[in-house]
């Protein structure tokens, strides 16, 4: 029984370390001279209609992998699931990182 607890504690520690070190946080971007932050479902008021956004698939994957913790999906889907995108299909084409 002690081995199982130790194994679970090790799994949680490794997962949290990977979560912190490898977490794929979305980046902001300058579009037409103004800075645009990433947004999620909890801060959708930050979405700017003058910028095009895309889903950050790394954050979606981390949300699916860490769904048992309930912290990872809330963090990634709540605040960092969409980021501004540099794309030729977007009508606003002057992008800077």
* Secondary structure, 3-state, the chain: CHHHHHHHHHHHHHHHHHHHHHCCCCCCEEECCEEECCECCCCHHHCCCCCCEEECHHHHHHHHHCCCCCHHHHHHHHHCCEEECCCCCCCCCCEEC
- Which tens digit of pLDDT belongs to each residue from 35-58? 888 889 998 888 887 788 888 888
Quote the pLDDT of residue 11.
Answer: 85
Q: Is the pLDDT of residue 21 over 70?
A: no
pLDDT of residue 20: 60
Whether residue 24 is predicted with pLDDT greater than 60 in this model: the reply is: no
Q: What is the mean pLDDT of the chain?
A: 78
pTM above 0.75, yes or no: no
| Structure confidence at residue 42 (pLDDT) | 92
């Amino acid at each position: 029984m002690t081995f199982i607890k130790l194994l679970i504690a090790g799994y949680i520690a490794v997962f949290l370390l990977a979560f912190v070190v490898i977490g794929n946080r979305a980046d902001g971007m300058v579009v037409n001279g103004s800075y645009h932050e990433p947004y999620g479902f909890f801060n959708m008021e930050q979405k700017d209609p003058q910028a095009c956004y895309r889903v950050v698939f790394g954050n979606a994957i981390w949300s699916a992998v860490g769904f048992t913790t309930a912290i990872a999906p809330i963090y990634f889907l709540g605040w960092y699931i969409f980021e501004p995108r540099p794309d030729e299909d977007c009508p606003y084409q002057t992008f800077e990182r």
